[in-house]
Every structure is written in structure tokens, then in C-alpha cells.
Structure 1
Amino acid sequence: MSFSVLLRRLRTEAGLTIAELARTSGVSVRGISDLERGRRAVPQRRTVEALADGLGLGDGQRAQLLAAARNGGRELGAPGSEPGLRDFPRATEAFTGRETELARLVEAAASAAGQPVVVTVSGAPGAGKTAFVLHAVRQIADRFPAGQVLVDGRGLDEDAPEPAELMVRVLKAFGVGDRELANTGADGHPALYQRVLSDQRCVLVLDNVRDEEQVRPLLPRAGTSMVILTSRRNLGGLGSGHRLVLGELSPDHAADLLTTLIGRERAQAEPAAIAEIAERCGRLPLALWVAGNWLATRTAWSIRRLADRLAVEERRLDALAAGDVRVSAAFDVSYRQLDPDAAHMFRRLALIDGGATTASCAAQLSGQALPAAERSLDELVEAGLLTVQRGRYRLHDLLRLFAGDRLRAEEAVHDIDSVRADLHHWLLDNVVAAGRWHEPGHRAPASHPRPGMVKLSNADEAREWLQAEGTTWLAAYRAVAATGEHSRVVEVAQSLHWFSYRWMFWSHWPEVFHTAAEAAEALEDPWLAAQFAYHAWVLAAYEGRLPKTSALRGGLAQARHHYA
């Protein structure tokens, strides 16, 4: 315990105010206040002896106070620890990356000169928020001599503590005794809390926060303390402040984390397998930690063995378990807290190919009207289960697998198949409408698109939609081709004829038009076969190769004849 905290605790246990201790010890009110707030160096021995006399300390407590002074303010019983450190767990040694976020947090700490600073650290389940904060606080500890305290808000528990309980825990951590708390009474705790925090140049970490309501009363209104909140939710209702959102690690940092956990020599022997594991963990710190510790306890296993095991999507989440720590369990806690509409949306998003989508596509999937779908998406973003950038919503790869598991567990197979088929046709309806915007002489339709369709007002909007949703609608195109919907395939490719010249170097055009040529041939329509074989030939020519099949070569001959 630091000198400042010990002095405050001994004073409050003695039932003395600062003014009363000043009278009994002969030390000035200003001097005692500065010592308790950590704003001045630890005093000389004669000052400590005077304070001990004024407090009426026995031999044991007197020795404890003198030892804290001799220790330069460090925590008793923790040789070599940082000044003022207390009630704070050790940071994990297996930490890597996050340089940008660390720099921003350090910069925020530097701004805590004349007013309190609040930093919110949010991110998906397993993003390593607590580990990040433990690591970061060590870097800023010297700026906050009154110490560092961490209180767990247990925000994912059904019986998460209310603000009043957290307030008492913080006050006790800062040396307020039971007698003072009782004398003040519950109604007086908020004012006491604000007074104590305003007197401390400290770091208070409120970890695993449930929501804004749980921590709003705990934010200091004055002083120079720093409060760091960690939560899966983005806590947007708290208003202004510094905000850090933790995503997945970079490929190099993900590999470094695995290397730290299993040993450099072993990792360097199989670098390709390390890279594959990192990607199959989605570079999510919790998943990497689980995979690394799993390997660390199985030294006879090759790294390749785990990489191959994680390659099977259906088994990946089951494989990401080490002892009683399961990645899927971390996801499940957040999922169970969603309202029914948001949970329904989350499950359905597993059907999106490509990992990202728009609100209109999500509305089609969920069967909700667009405003309701946007509310569900916002709830998922707030819960840390979904990210959004430039109007596109993205599920992390492991969360997509988890959503798929919940979908199969909670919805009937025939319903899932029906929703998937409806999504594919909806996407292709929009592809046809968007592609035709690029045909010569095309004008906006006289009537508005039918309900549920993407609203496209011009060729540029159509181009942007086709490009942004390329991965998603290509998957739908492949799906209808695989089910033998030849007319649909031909219709889609025909609508994209002119657009393909606007986006000439998309690598999937040969596949699109080759598929269309085969579908046209299956329809036994030689004119269509020739037309689509021609397009396939044109696009293949851009890549310096010609179609190989005799059917397509026959189609090319017909195309040349048709366009002669």
C-alpha cells in the first residue's frame, strides 16, 4: 500500500479530519492534504513521526507508516513495484502489438493535467481489452503517483454490481474506512466519492462495464485523475471522451503472440503453420491465446497438426478450447444478452458470404423493415458483435462461425434453406437492376423499385453497389448456377454485359461469363450460347488465354458470325 493511501486510511480509522490531524501533529493542513493526494514527495522521518504521534499509532502501525515512507511510496510487500501501485493485477507477459492504441492512451494520460480524463476501451469478445489496459497502465503509472486501482464491473453477470456497490469498493480501495463510510451514510457516498477522486492523481480502471448506467455516477467531475473503462459495448451514451476500439491483431503481431506462448524455436520451425493458425483464429487475441496454450501443453504435437484441425470450419470453435477457457463461451455470454430481434439478426448474418453487408441486405435476411433492421444492427454493434465501416456491417470470422452454430441450433433446416434461397434471388434481382443502368440509353425507371430493393438513382450508385457487394452477389450467382437455374444465370450475365467494360479487370469476369455460356448451352439456345461465349472470349483475352472447351470454341465461331 502506498504512503498516501496508508496515511488516509489511518486517519479515517482514527476518526480524524485533516484539520484535526493537523492540530494534533503540528503538520500543516496543506501538507497533509498534499501527502494524502500523492502530490508531494514522501516526507522526512520527523514529519512521519509527528503524523504517527498525532494519529496515536501503536508500535505496529507506526512501523508500517515509517516503512511506507522509507519505501518511497511503493506497495508494501511488493519489492520493486511501481510507486503507488495497489489493487491492480499483473499484466500478462504475452502481449504484443496495439502500438497505435497505446500511443493514444498515453497521449490521453498526458492531457490529465487540469481535469479528469475518461478513456473507453471497447471491442469484440476476446479482443484483449483487459490485457491491453493492464499493459498500458504500467506505461503511465509514473504520471499518477496516488496509484492505480482496478475494479471489476462484472458486466456480463446477471447480478452485476450496481453503481452504489462499485462506489464503495472504489472508496475502500482509496483508503476510506468502514467508520467513515458508515458516518457518511449511503446518501452521502456520492459526494464523498467525488471528493476523494478529486483529491487523487490516480488511475481508476472500471473493467468489464455493463452499460452507461452502471458507471456514469463513478466518473469524476473534478481533479486530475484518469478513468479507463473497458466494455464489450461502446458506451456511446457517456458522451465525449477518448475512445479506443480494439480489433484483430495484424498478421505479424498475431504470429508474435503465438510465438511468445509456445517458444521461438518451436515457432520458427513451422512458420507457415503459425501463419495459418493466426488467420484461422481471426487474429483475435483470446483465440490466439487459447491456441497457443493448447500447443504449449502438447509439446509432442506439431504445429501443423493444430493448423489442419482448425482448417475445418465446422470443428474450429470446438478446437479453440484450452482447459476451461472456450472461445465460443465468450461469444455466448454476449449473445444471450441480446434482445430477440437482434439475436435473430445475428444468426441470420451467418448466411452472408464475404463477411460484410449493408442494412438493406440484412433487412432482407431478417424479414424486418429497414428501420427495424437498422435498430437490430445498431444493437449488435453496441454489443461488440458487429463492426461497421462506411455503411457496411462485418462479422468477425469466428463470430460468423458462432452465428452459424446458433442458426442451426435454433432454426429449422427448411427455414434456413428458404431464407438462403430468397437472399440469393434478392441479390441477383438487384444485380440485374444495377447492371442495366450501364446499358446505352438506359433511363431511370418510371416507377420506384419494388419494396425491399436497393434504391439506385444513377449509374454511379449502381456501379458502387455492384463493386461493394461483388463477393456477396457472386456467391449467390454460383449458388443458382449450381442448382441449375440456367435462365436466371443467363439473365444476370446479360445484364452485366455493358458494366463489365466499366469494371474491366475484375478477376471474376471469366468465371461469370463462362458460367453463363454453359447455362445458355444447357438451354439449347445457340444464339445465347454464341453471345455469352463471345463475352467469355473477350474477357479471357484480357488475361491472355482462350477458352478450352469445344463447346465454347463452337460458340465463339457462332459469335464471330453473329457480329460479322
Structure 2
Amino acid sequence: MGRREKPIDTRSGPVGAFAGDLRKLRAAAGNPSYRQMASAALYSPSVLSDAAGGHRLPTLPVALAFARACGGDPQEWEQRWREARGGGAPTEPLTPIGVDEMAAAEPGQPRPAQLPIGPHDFVGRMAEFDGARAAMVGIADSRVPVIVRGPVGIGKTTFALRFAHQLTAEFPDGQLFADMATRRADDTAPLEVITGFLHALGVPPDQVPDDDMHRIGLYRSMLAERRVIVLLDNVKDEPQVRPLLARSLNSQIVVTSRSRLLGLDGVRRITLGPLSRVESIDLLRLLIGSDRVRAEHAAGLRIAEFCGHLPLALTIAGRKIAAQPGRRLSEIAGRLADGVNVSNWLRIGDISLADVVLPAYLALPPLAKHVLHMLAGGADEVTPTTLARALHISIESAEYAMDSLIDGGLLHRVSTPDRYLMSPLIGQLVTQEADRFAIRRDQDQLHTDQLRAAIGFTEGGFTH
């Protein structure tokens, strides 16, 4: 049972009265815990508790999230919030709060808003959102950097953007964003990002320290003083992000990466997996239209299965199908079952699954590339022990190859210890794009047949 809330004097003014009304609403809803409310409100328990504390008026997004979590009417509570704020009845239709109505930074301080547009078509991930919020809180309520990781095409950036946009009301002093995939792979990359962040936060160019450590120190000091959310997208490895990390009471850092970044200390990790069948169908409904998917539910499931329940593949497929309103889903599913060129079919505009997989493949060490090719050839699972036996190498070397594939986002560990799987869709793409992926069987010193035999692969399937 949670701690009893401190009493508030509802006669002390509009802020106290508003907080008292929030508490009454929560009591009428059966007094759910703030942790339970957080799952529906998508704000942390501490933020919701503070909203009803009576110390200050919460921001409108927080107030509306509190009301929705307790079954309140959003329009009614926006009206109450504006009255408590002193705005009275609005002269125009009620709209969500704007940036100027949020708790503000000090007058004159820039408030950067660098986050890209968040995803419109998004489903599920509620457990992951809850996990990410819980992971933010560290020792003595300090905020801990959160790493969002998972294989290629799993929707890490989409998830992180959605998450970051949900947090903007809690971090009114600004939003900083950097796509680390566009940075040079050397030690200067994080320092260049820090310089850009300092400029965005209002530090004049002539006041940015030349000394690297002083520059990093100033950046971390500003995160400690202000309420800023920082999103570092597509991080390759630990050196690329380590100088940019900070533990702060006021600011929050979110990182996305295919790699687990196991070399980093003082962080929390959230791993994304494929969508469930229900979530995949929900996403197709958003993209294609509920009526089409409802009318051919079985065909929709077959399309989702072809996409491996990967959000990127589902999004590409859904948008492509939506652009063909006259085609039946069963016709499309049948064509996919008969065989298509994955690279061509899962491509729209400048978005392609192959263009995501190829850089991940090229960054692999030679042994990991060969194992990926072996898995794409039909073996859907492998263990370090069988791999070590086949190649006459140590188990440690085999594990290194497996770890390279995991951190490259092309393999994932299953619940059974030391067993690894690859998405069939990725395997099909690698097989079809063998020339583009520079895989040459006849020049490979490792023998695919030997490796297949070691894991029990035969023409008819698997022996174990």
C-alpha cells in the first residue's frame, strides 16, 4: 500500500482546489495507485502524484492524462485547468497546451525543439513504455540513461521518438536530437554533437571550451541545471556515445542502438522484439484501413507473417498495399507466398528493408558474415558449441561471432540458453541479395556443408 498523501487546503486558492478535485476524481475511480495510473496516462507515477500535490498547477498534458487515467472527461478537465490557471472560458475551441503554456525555462534561455516528427501510425509496446519509464529512475531519484535496442527493422527509432514526445511536458527546457549514424566513426563525432547541443542551449560559440573534458563538463552541467530530453539515435558503439551520457536529476537521455552497448555503465536497457500477431494486424489496419483488413483477416495475417512481424516491414507493406485500393489482400498474400524479391517488394520511396540490413551486414567480422550466410541457407538456429565444433575454434570465438550478429541486429537469442535465431525474412533477403552482400561461396574458406551438418541440417529439415 502506498504512502498516505499529505493533506492540502483546497481553500488556499485555485491550485489547491484543482489538486483537490484531481484527488476526488481518483477516489471516485477506486483510488488506483499512481503506478497503475501511469500505465494508462503514459506519465511517471511521480509526475502524476505531483499533479495532485497542490504545490503548483500541473501542465495541461499531465492534467488531462491524470483525468483520462481516472475516467474523467478531457474537455471538462481542460476547462477546469484553464479556470485554475486564470484563463477563464476559452474564446475558441479547446486545444492541447502549446509550448508557451508549459513550465518554462528561465526567461531569455533558448528552448530547442530538435525532435523529428513522431510516428502517426503506431500500435502496442505498452509494456515496453512502462519498462522505459521505470528504467528512467535511478539512485536517489536521479534519471538514468535508457538504451532502446533490438534487431534491424524492429522500430527502435519509432519507439524512442514516441517515447520522447510523450515526455516533452516533463522536460520543458528543450529537446535535443542527434542521428549518430550520420556522424563520422571517430573520436570527434560525440564532441561535435556536444558543441551543437551547447549552441542550441544558448552557449555562444566563443564560450564553448576548446578543451574536450571542459566541453563535456559544461554540457553535463547544463543538463543538470535544466529540464531537457536528449535523444541519441542509431548509436554504433560505446565510444560514440559515452561522452554524451550523463546522470541528472532534471534531464533524461534516451539512446537507440542495434548493439547492447554492454561496455556502458550506469544505464538501463529496453529490448524490443517483434510485434504480436494482434499488434501486427492493428498496425495493418491503421495503414491499409480497418474495413479491408476486417474483410480479409486471414490474408492480413499471412502478410504479417511474411513481414516477420517487424514494424519496418509491416509499415512498408501497409503503405504499398494502401496505394493499391483495388487489390484484394488474398491476392497479395498469395503472391508473397509464391515468392517475391524481398529487396524490391519491401521498398517505398527512400525507405527499404535491404538498405537497413546491408550496412549491418557489411560491418560484421568475416566469421559472423559466414554464419549469417549459413543461417540464411536454411538453418534457422545455431549454438556456439556446434559452431565451435564445426570450425575447430574455441567456444569463446564462436560466442564472439554470435555476439557480433546480435549487436549487428541480425540475430537474437531465444529463451533457451545459448541458442540463436534469425528472422526468416532477413534470411530470405540475404539469400536473394547474395551478390549485393558480396557473399561468395566458392571463395569462402569455411565450408557451409560442414557447418550445416554440425547443427543437424539436411535437405529434409533438421536432425536435432
Normalised by the length of structure 1, the TM-score is 0.58
Matched, 1:351 2:377: yes
Partner residue of 2:458?
476
1:140 alignment partner in structure 2: 167
CA–CA distance in structure 1, aligned partners of residues 103 and 327 of structure 2: 44
Displacement, 1:277?
A: 0.6
Give the one of 193, 196, 218 matched to 2:222.
196
1:403 to 430, 434, 445: 430
Match of 2:397 among 372, 375, 378: 372
1:237 is paired with a residue of what secondary structure?
Answer: coil
Alignment of 1:141-180 (within 5 A): 141-154=168-181, 162-180=189-207
CA contact (8 A) 2:172 2:227 kept: yes
State whether residues 156 and 334 of structure 1, in contact with CA within 8 Å, keep that contact through their aligned partners in structure 2: no
Name the CA distance, whole Å, in 1 between partners of 2:255 and 2:219: 17
Contact 2:230 2:253 (C-alpha < 8 Å) held by counterparts: yes
Post-superposition shift, 1:109?
A: 3.8
1:249 and 2:275 aligned: yes
Residue-by-residue CA offset, 1:47-99 (whole Å, 9 max, x unaligned): xxxxxxxxxxxxxxxxxxxxxx9933489xxxxxxxx6711122111111111
Matched, 1:206 2:235: no
In structure 2, how many angstroms separate the alpha carbons of the residues matched to 1:70 and 1:198?
21
Matched, 1:311 2:337: yes
Rounded to whole Å, the distance in 1 between the matches of 2:218 and 2:452 is: 60
Distance in 1 between the 2:398 and 2:205 partners?
50
CA apart distance, 1:308: 2.0
Does the aligned pair in 2 maintain the 1:385–1:395 contact within 8 Å?
Answer: yes
Change (3 A) 1:240 1:70: closer
User: What is the correspondence of 1:396-435 to structure 2 with a 5 Å cutoff?
Assistant: 396-405=423-432, 410-412=439-441, 419-420=448-449, 422-423=450-451, 425-427=453-455
Q: Assess, with a 3 A threshold, how the Cα gap between structure 1 residues 276 and 171 changes in structure 2: closer, same or farther.
A: same
Q: Structure 1 CA distance, aligned partners of 2:426 and 2:187?
A: 25
**Equivalences, count:** 361
1:215 corresponds to which residue?
A: 241
Letter in 1 for 2:132: L
2:386 and 2:409 map into 1 onto residues whose CA distance is 20
Secondary structure of 1:224's match?
coil
Distance 1:368 1:411, change over 3 A: farther
The share of aligned pairs that are identical, in percent, is 32
Contact 1:358 1:391 in 2 (8 A): yes
**Structure-2 residue corresponding to 1:331:** 357
Q: Deviations over 1:112-157 (max 9, x none)?
A: 8742311000111111111101111233333223232222212686
**Higher RCO, 1 or 2 (CA under 8 Å, sep at least 6)?**
2
Letter in 2 for 1:282: G
The TM-score, its normalising length taken from structure 2, stands at 0.69
Asked if the contact 1:348–1:407 (Cα under 8 Å) also holds between the matched residues in 2, the reply is: no
CA deviations over 1:488-542 (Å, ceiling 9, x no partner) = xxxx9xxx9xxxxxxxxxxxxxxxxxxxxxxxxxxxxxxxxxxxxxxxxxxxxxx
> 2: distance between equivalents of 1:338 and 1:385?
10
Once the two structures are superposed, what CA deviation does each residue of 1:330-352 show, in whole Å capped at 9, x if it has no partner?
10011111122222222222234
Q: Distance in 2 between matches of 1:279 and 1:350?
A: 17
Equivalents in 2 of 1:108, 1:412: separation in Å? 45
* Distance in 2 separating the partners of 1:207 and 1:99: 21
- 2:286 matched to which residue of 1? 260
Any stretches of 5+ residues in structure 2 without a counterpart? 1-54, 59-97, 105-110
| 1:322 equivalent in structure 2 | 348
**How many angstroms does 1:312 deviate by?**
3.7
Cα deviation per residue 1:196-225 (whole Å; 9 max; x = unaligned)? 111112211111112110111111244431
Instruction: Decide which of 407, 416, 420 is 1:393's aligned counterpart.
Output: 420
Cα distance between partner residues in 1 of 2:137 and 2:459: 54
- CA shift, 1:395, in A, is 0.7
**Native 8 Å contact 1:148 1:203 kept in 2:** yes
Q: Is the 8 A contact 2:148 2:254 kept in 1?
A: yes
Aligned residues of 2:151 and 2:406 also touching (Cα < 8 A): no
**CA distances 1:295-354 after superposition (whole Å, capped 9, x unpaired):** 12222222223212222456334321112322111100111111222222222222343x
Q: CA 1:365–1:250 in structure 2 vs 1: closer, same or farther (change >3 Å)?
A: farther
AA paired with 1:378? D
User: In structure 2, how many angstroms separate the alpha carbons of the residues matched to 1:210 and 1:477?
Assistant: 38
Q: Whole-Å Cα distance in 2 between the matches of residues 70 and 100 of structure 1?
A: 28
Q: 1:92 and 2:119 equivalent?
A: yes
SS in 1 for 2:317: helix
Pick closer, same or farther for the CA change 1:392–1:112 going to 2, 3 Å. Answer: same
* 1:194–1:263 CA distance, 2 compared to 1 (3 A): same
Distance 1:120 1:425, change over 3 A: closer
Whether 2:187 is the aligned partner of 1:131: answer no
Paired amino acid for 2:301: A
Alignment partners' CA distance in 1, 2:342 and 2:395: 33
Distance 1:314 1:72 in 2: 52
Q: Cα deviations across residues 330-382 of structure 1 (Å, max 9, x unaligned)? A: 100111111222222222222343x2221123335656443322211111112
Gaps of 5+ in 1: 1-38, 43-68, 76-83, 428-472, 481-491, 497-564
In the alignment, residue 258 of structure 2 is paired with which amino acid? R
Whichever residue aligns with residue 370 of structure 1, its letter is I
Paired with 1:156 and 1:287, the residues of 2 have a C-alpha distance of 26
Q: Is the 8 A contact 2:228 2:252 kept in 1?
A: yes
Aligned-partner residue type, residue 448 of structure 2: V
SS at 2:147 equivalent: strand
> Residues 161 and 304 of structure 1: is their aligned pair in 2 closer, same or farther, counting only changes over 3 Å?
farther
The structure 2 residue matched to 1:340, chosen from 357, 366, 370, is 366
Larger Rg: 1
1:60 corresponding residue in structure 2: none
